[in-house]
Amino acid sequence: MSDTPMSQAKNETNMFLFWGCFIALITTAFGFITRMFLLDDPAIVQTLGLDPAEVGAFKGIQVWPFALSIIIFSLIIDKVGYKFSMMFAFTCQFVWAVMGVFALSTIDADPERAKSLIYWGGLILALGNGTVEAFINPVVATMFDKDKTKWLNILHAGWPGGLVIAGILVIFMAGLDWNIKLATIALPALIYFFMLIKVEFPKQERVAAGVSYKDMLSEFGIYGAAVVGFLVTLQLMDFFPEGNKAVFIGIGVAMVVAFGAYTQSLGRPLMFVLILIMMPLATTEIGTDGWISGIMSSVVDFDGGWILVYTSFIMMVLRFFAGPIVHNLSALGLLMVSCILAIAGLWCLSWAEAVTVVFAAATLYALGKTFFWPTMLGIVSEQTPRGGALTLNAISGIGMLAVGTLGFPYIGALQAEKEIQAVKPYVSSVQEDELLDKKNIYEIIEYQVLDMEKVDQLVVDKAPAADQKKLKAEITTASEGSAQKALATMAIFPLIMLLAYVAMWFYFKSKGGYRPVELEVQQVPNDGESPYGDG
């Protein structure tokens, strides 16, 4: 039977809305990769006076606020509407573009002000990017409620697609000022804004089924709130290092208690497991992507950004064809295979030197990370539909919060550790403590940074004059090549995920196999609104 004119019109509206959401996600990738490339530029890092872990913190601030905005908007999006959320996201992204351009236009004259603008601009960008995810995920899951995993994978092809487009633009704009490169985010932002400003958004699946707001929060429960409270506490401690830690801990505890008092629910155990898995997943994908260009730039003779562009291109293509792959492997099967490929890819990248080997290893890593994020969203949406926008978006929010507060700084600290190990043989005649600065992040991640000025001075003081130039060159080579070895340690994250997915596979097998949970849509929603109530 052919579609009726009404159904055809609805399908056309859905696809127009889908592509608007797709371009919005491309915009978030533009903001992410241009700022990451900026912070991988040695000249910019030196001008701003940042060590590796501090670069991690600068990268992290464009990630963890993403989590706050996606979680907060998930709580209120059914009230404020998808369109308001879209306009808020656009405004934040545009404000960051202005701040970034101004900062880099004045960086030589006032590096401290530029440092502040780039740091806080990252926070504003993250709030906008998180809000994009807050509205696009539930919109697409609602429009394609019978094939969520497939369409969420296609939607999230926009992320690597944006990385590819923006990455190539930045690389080919190598001779231009950085303020011009950062301004490129304005183009896709304006496109999705004008596409979506007049469109009519659908009512979320949970709302249409008459599931109450309290029931939605109960799916997330105290378990989920405890994870958010812990990560928020860590971030407050970092933001206000001189503040009273007991107060920050009290804020985190109060969040959990208030949530528990209202919901009176621990939350679904499966949801809690998915939340825990999402933390190493986000670090594997987003954390590695944020560092990979800088790490590999010392290994290859070309711009290290090409590796990120290459892996992102693979992701984009594969996500467009996720439907048959998910059908043949199942969601959990796909995730288990992905973990194995990611482990192999990261390990191979940690020692690869020849260009062909580097790209072969990068291919393994790309094949591994491709389906992680959208397939997890598909599982959450299929298994916890009563959680509505909250559970669907909170899983992304917690992942980004984890990688922003812990993942990025931890990867930076790993690189600092590998640098010490690489240089140590050249300075074994002195006590290590004389050359190291001890630091910590949130008083949880303790690390040490090699003071290269002290190392250079040691060479001058101890080595014969004829050997100093050669020795300094050897130390510099060892230092620059050390970060690559951190990738092998990072393979622990997909290994943890693999063990968790295997356990989930056995759990669902004991229940008769993996099956999506479906909600029955009410003919007349509780509030009497039409299925399209956000126009």
Q: Which of 28-42, 145-159, 225-239 has the highest mean pLDDT?
A: 28-42
Instruction: Answer with the residue of higher pLDDT: 533 or 446.
Output: 446
Instruction: Answer with the residue of higher pLDDT: 208 or 384.
Output: 384
At 355 the three-state DSSP class reads: helix
Alpha-carbon span 206 to 74, nearest angstrom: 12
User: Residues 6, 8, 12, 15: is their CA dihedral positive or negative?
Assistant: positive
Instruction: Answer with the residue of higher pLDDT: 288 or 135.
Output: 135
Half-sphere exposure of 227 (CA within 13 A, CB side): 27
Residue 531 predicted with pLDDT over 60: no
Alpha-carbon span 117 to 376, nearest angstrom: 34
Average pLDDT of the residues in 488-509: 93
What is the pLDDT, as a whole number, of residue 1? 46
Mean pLDDT, the chain, whole residue set: 82
Alpha-carbon span 451 to 453, nearest angstrom: 5
Residue 416 predicted with pLDDT over 90: no
Residue 323 predicted with pLDDT over 80: no
pLDDT in tens, 47-74: 888 877 678 778 878 777 887 888 888 8
What is the pLDDT, as a whole number, of residue 338? 95
Alpha-carbon span 231 to 275, nearest angstrom: 12
Contact yes or no for 252/233 (Cβ under 8 A): yes
Query: Please, what is the angle between helix 213-239 and helix 269-282, to 10°?
Result: 40
Q: What are phi and psi of 438, to 5 degrees?
A: -90, 135
Phi-psi region of 396 (alpha: psi -120 to 50; beta: other; left: phi over 0): alpha
Residue 5 predicted with pLDDT over 70: no
pLDDT in tens, 345-388: 999 988 888 888 988 998 999 999 999 988 998 899 888 888 87
What is the pLDDT, as a whole number, of residue 300? 77
Residue 392 predicted with pLDDT over 90: no
Residue 425 predicted with pLDDT over 90: no
User: Above pLDDT 70, what percent of the chain?
Assistant: 87
Residue 30 predicted with pLDDT over 60: yes
What is the pLDDT, as a whole number, of residue 205? 64
Complete DSSP assignment for 428-457: TTS-GGGGEEEEEETTTEEEEEE-HHHHHH
Among 88-102, 459-473, 487-501, where is mean pLDDT lowest? Answer: 459-473
Residue 314 predicted with pLDDT over 60: yes
Residue 530 predicted with pLDDT over 50: no
Among 10-24, 245-259, 501-515, where is mean pLDDT lowest? Answer: 10-24
Name the burial class of residue 451, with classes exposed (0-12), middle (13-18) and buried (19+) by CB atoms within 10 angstroms of its CB.
middle
pLDDT in tens, 96-140: 999 999 998 888 888 889 889 999 999 999 999 999 988 998 888
Contact yes or no for 189/92 (Cβ under 8 A): no
What is the pLDDT, as a whole number, of residue 503? 96
Nearest to 227 by CA among 190, 252, 202: 252
Residue 527 predicted with pLDDT over 60: no
Phi-psi region of 513 (alpha: psi -120 to 50; beta: other; left: phi over 0): left
Alpha-carbon span 99 to 393, nearest angstrom: 28
At 213 the three-state DSSP class reads: helix
Average pLDDT of the residues in 259-270: 91
In the chain, which residues fall in CATH 1.20.1250.20?
Answer: 10-413+496-510
Among 156-160, 168-172, 530-534, where is mean pLDDT lowest? Answer: 530-534
Give the C-alpha distances (Å, rounded to integers) separating 25 from 88, 263, 471.
14, 32, 48
Contact yes or no for 153/374 (Cβ under 8 A): yes
Could you tell me the pLDDT band of residue 281, with boundaries at 50, 70 and 90?
very high
Alpha-carbon span 130 to 230, nearest angstrom: 19
In CATH, 10-413+496-510 is 1.10.150.120? no
As given in the structure block, the two tokens for residue 473 are: 């060159």
